[in-house]
Amino acid sequence: MIPTIKWEDNCIYIIDQRKLPRKKEWLVCQTLKDVITAIREMAIRGAPAIGVAAAMGLALGSQTIKTESYEIFRRRFLEMARQMKLARPTAANMRWAAERMIRVVEMMDDNNVEEIKRAVRKESQSILDRDIEINKKIGQNGLGFIPDKATILTHCNAGALATGGYGTALGVIRAAHEAGKDVHVIVDETRPLLQGIRLTAFELMEENIPVTVIVDSASGYLMQKKMIDLVITGADRIASNGDTANKIGSYQLAVLAKVNKIPFYVAAPLSTFDPDLKNGDLIPIEEREPKEVISFAGHLLGPEGVDAFNPAFDITPAKYISAIITERGILKPPYKGSIRALFGTDVK
Amino acid sequence: MIPTIKWEDNCIYIIDQRKLPRKKEWLVCQTLKDVITAIREMAIRGAPAIGVAAAMGLALGSQTIKTESYEIFRRRFLEMARQMKLARPTAANMRWAAERMIRVVEMMDDNNVEEIKRAVRKESQSILDRDIEINKKIGQNGLGFIPDKATILTHCNAGALATGGYGTALGVIRAAHEAGKDVHVIVDETRPLLQGIRLTAFELMEENIPVTVIVDSASGYLMQKKMIDLVITGADRIASNGDTANKIGSYQLAVLAKVNKIPFYVAAPLSTFDPDLKNGDLIPIEEREPKEVISFAGHLLGPEGVDAFNPAFDITPAKYISAIITERGILKPPYKGSIRALFGTDVK
């Protein structure tokens, strides 16, 4: 499995996912700004992975703060965290990671700046290492939903590349494969950036897990024809009532699964939850540039001057989600109760 | 408006739709085989358009039959019609056009072969001319469904290029625009062959009808966000109960429209109906080559050796269709009754 991101020689190495599967190329980030750009331009993507990148980016940024004053360090670190959180608005993990890093800084107000920098760096590494463990746990926890022989539809990439490693939705699929279950994955190509055909098909083929690609428009047909046993996706943010933001197209898969009586599962770590958010309507949906839709590899797909609208995510209402698989176990509807039980009673 | 197809100097000129909107290039067909290849490879596509092409192709083919014997002519013509019908299996219009041409031949069993060839040629031209009139009628008949200000979602291309001219679904949109209604069209790109962004956006922009492209995965989101007032598509075949085959992805749009309480209309000429077919399960669904999905403009989109499944159509069950707009008026549910009323009582 390719590592998604690593720290080496005081630089952050990111596998440039825009170039996969054609080229395996490391993008070397030497500054906080490099990391923010890599996230914004989706050299690295996937909610847990950009959480890790945010943490590492802040660790990298912190090293450039030239001061011995805790207060100055803290102020500049908070400003870096603010900038980082703006890189992409939808995924909860960005904010989660930034806030975890801030907590380290704020808890060390008695320490000298060099010690804080070391602690911050250590925390970012532990977020990465822990993410892989979490994914493996999610994989184990989801096993019970996978029949011994199953055709599984997934969307976009919620794999090793979308996380620190192993994957959330693909983590469950990997765990099922490792447990000897006979799984065949159908992945839709996931326009506009084709994460399904480029990244998910690539990851699964590397591990000899059977995979077939379809266009995004064909998923309903396959469900109608009873060719799909279950759907499983990742998530970018989950509100306190279970409404889930994920890659554009997830909502329609969930509706089609419901209509065709097929279970629809979401696999996500606790860092993807936003327990302060009442429901999905409050999740900001990133709109990306029209050029992602209207051109491909330098080819304009439509007429000169064609207009496009490019929302990057959508919201799947909780009522369409059969269960949410986390590292701490399975959440079942009604989610308001099960999420409150997990995060405490002050959930809105 | 570009003509989709024309007869000139004993050749059939087809606008090569694979190259639009980049290039406007005539493909010159000199033989029946050329026409069959053009249909199979989708240089011309759209159910009514390939009906016209089938008729013209048979007229062209008939001219090469060197005999004075009616029986030999008839036998060879039937063989040509059989080959033509195999070019693409889903659209009803192929068979409808071939059978209409056969009828001309069979009714002229007292005439000499040269007269029959002239009649066959005349019939093919009249199928083209009549198709344009039919589309204009469909446009007028659908007007009542279009509010004075409307955002309309359409899929694939059911426009001038999919017909002899003017279009079915786009015919209704054109008629609304000509009637002074304020229409804005949202079209999904329609992978794998991108007829939405390549052809529909092109046709609408040529006539200054506002159009915005989205990826196929975004249509549910727009419906959920109440950005769509109605959906209208064409059809490739309509069974006697109203079940409708159309471009892959139509089924999911219809389901999403229903769930979001948005009307879903089908616009199609009578030649698209297959009143002998009990329901949509009996409509053959063409599976096209995986390469349409996995590569684009010479670029392999996924990993080397990636597998793909590429059904070209799907079936929208009648219960998801609010009305079917034909040149003879509006069909409403229950379709079994309304279609029987149109085609006679011997409908299955």
R_g over Cα of chain B: 20
Q: Provide the residue range defining the domain that includes A318.
A: 142-343
CATH code for the domain in which residue A244 is found: 3.40.50.10470
Domain boundary pick from B101, B136, B171: B136
Q: Is residue B321 part of a domain?
A: yes
**B179-224 tens-digit pLDDT:** 999 999 999 999 999 999 999 999 999 999 999 999 999 999 999 9
Nearest to A216 among B217, B296, B300 (CB): B217
Same domain membership, residue A287 and residue A206: yes
Tokens of B35: 């026409």
Per-chain mean pLDDT for chain B: 97
Same domain membership, residue A212 and residue A329: yes
Q: Is residue B348 part of a domain?
A: no
Q: Is residue B183 part of a domain?
A: yes
Q: Is residue B28 part of a domain?
A: yes
What's the whole-number mean pLDDT along residues B100-104? 98
* pLDDT tops 60 at residue A346: no
Same domain membership, residue A91 and residue A63: yes
Nearest to A217 among B252, B259, B307 (CB): B252
Q: Is residue B67 part of a domain?
A: yes
What's the whole-number mean pLDDT along residues A128-151? 98
Domain boundary pick from A75, A108, A136: A136
The secondary structure element, H or E, covering residue A127 is helix A113-142
What pLDDT is stored for residue B346 in this prediction? 53
| Cα B103 from Cα A276, distance rounded (Å) | 71
ipTM of the complex: 0.96
* pLDDT tops 70 at residue B345: no
Q: Is residue A348 part of a domain?
A: no
In chain B, what residues touch A213 (CB-CB under 8 Å)? 293-294, 302, 306-309
Same domain membership, residue B146 and residue B106: no
Same domain membership, residue A131 and residue A191: no
What's the whole-number mean pLDDT along residues A11-34? 97
Nearest CA in chain B to A299: B297
Tally of structural domains, chain A: 2
Same domain membership, residue A319 and residue A174: yes
* pLDDT tops 90 at residue B149: yes
Same domain membership, residue B149 and residue B20: no
**A56-93 tens-digit pLDDT:** 999 999 999 999 999 999 999 999 999 999 999 999 99
Q: Is residue B246 part of a domain?
A: yes
What's the whole-number mean pLDDT along residues A220-242? 98
* pLDDT tops 90 at residue A270: yes
What pLDDT is stored for residue A296 in this prediction? 92
Q: Is residue B189 part of a domain?
A: yes
Same domain membership, residue A336 and residue A194: yes
* pLDDT tops 50 at residue B348: no
Same domain membership, residue A307 and residue A180: yes
Tell me how close the Cα of A239 comes to any Cα of chain B, in angstroms: 18
CATH code for the domain in which residue A9 is found: 1.20.120.420
Same domain membership, residue A163 and residue A123: no
Nearest CA in chain A to B300: A22
**B259-309 tens-digit pLDDT:** 999 999 999 999 999 999 999 999 999 999 999 999 998 899 999 999 999
Same domain membership, residue B52 and residue B161: no
What pLDDT is stored for residue A348 in this prediction? 47
Per-chain mean pLDDT for chain A: 97
Same domain membership, residue B200 and residue B64: no
Domain boundary pick from B105, B136, B167: B136
Q: Between chains, do B297 and A293 touch, taking CB under 8 Å as contact? A: no
Q: Between chains, do A188 and B308 touch, taking CB under 8 Å as contact? A: no
Q: Between chains, do B194 and A301 touch, taking CB under 8 Å as contact? A: yes
